[in-house]
Amino acid sequence: MSATRRNLSSLILLLAIGIGCSRQEEPEPVVIAEAGNSTLTALQITNLVPRGLSATDSITWLRHYVAQWLDTELLYQYGQATGVAGSEPVRQKIEDITRRLVAGMVLDSISNRFDPQIPDSVLMNTYQAGQQEWTARDDAATLSYFYVAELLDASAVQNEAWLNPSWKYLKEKYSLRTEPSTDSTGVFLYLDQIRVLMQDPTVSYLSENRWLIRPVKGQDGKQVVLVARTGSVYRKGNILPFSVVRDDLSDRMLVKERQRRIETVLDSLKRSFRVRINIQ
């Protein structure tokens, strides 16, 4: 076995058992690659390896990452040796990146200075003043759904629902067997979005309390079953109720409020600093 393959295999083993999890002392760094005066260790890339990869796929990913790291590092060190790293074009680009980074962080701090909560009374007044904006563009519905591991379990969910239609009860009973751990309740979806969610282009109508069971592929490649139930149905052209659009309306108003606050700060800065624009 080559030294490179031994190092890659060592990294896979370290990632599998958790580096240093069972030892209190600092583990000895495992060097994966070297380029001139730089080294790449297992600890540096532990959190970069995508989760859920098999041992073979992990080796492939690592080889690709190491190859890219080597190319970049060699070119960087060559640029340092030949003076490119300290050249004026590079300095200007670094300064521009720094300026944009700092400006972005300042904007984030401005956006986070106010409570991102809008009272329901304000939301309701805004909703009532512009109800026509919330006309359904297509048939739509609220949808509750979760995944179970086996088709047999999905059928059991549907059969049991006729006896006990409590969605909360069903979720609690089957939650330990859901895979992947994805569930949602009261999600508002248009018909075309439901088609995508169900991965079934034949779904062409909606009805309240309709159960939809569809085998799909889970995040880890395993076959799982999507169990869904439609809630309230809203037909194209009808005005959607406040309860359905509340979150979307709140998001829109928060975006406008953030923008207003940013513009207020910028106007204040323009008055505080000397600003001149020489464009005819």
- pLDDT digit string (tens) for the chain, length 280 residues: 455 445 555 554 444 444 444 445 566 778 889 998 899 988 888 778 887 777 788 888 888 999 999 999 999 999 999 999 999 999 999 999 999 999 999 988 887 776 668 889 999 999 999 888 888 887 777 777 777 777 777 778 778 777 766 777 777 777 655 555 555 666 666 666 655 555 554 555 566 777 777 776 665 566 667 777 777 788 888 898 898 888 889 988 988 888 888 899 899 999 998 888 888 6
pLDDT at 114: 67
**Alpha carbon distance 36, 47 (integer Å):** 24
Indicate the DSSP class of residue 205.
Answer: -
Residue 73: CB atoms within 10 Å: 18
The helix or strand, by DSSP H or E, that contains position 142, with its residue range, turns out to be strand 140-148
pLDDT at 13: 47
**Alpha carbon distance 206, 139 (integer Å):** 8
| Rounded alpha-carbon distances, angstroms, from residue 219 to 182, 227, 254 | 10, 16, 33
pTM for this model (two decimals): 0.54
pLDDT at 98: 96
Closest CA to 211 of 141, 149, 150: 141
Domains within the chain, CATH numbers bracketed: 3-86 (no CATH), 104-133+244-257 (no CATH), 136-234 (3.10.50)
- For residue 73, give the amino acid letter: E
DSSP per position, 97-133 = HHHHHHHHHHHHHHHTTS-----HHHHHHHHHHTGGG
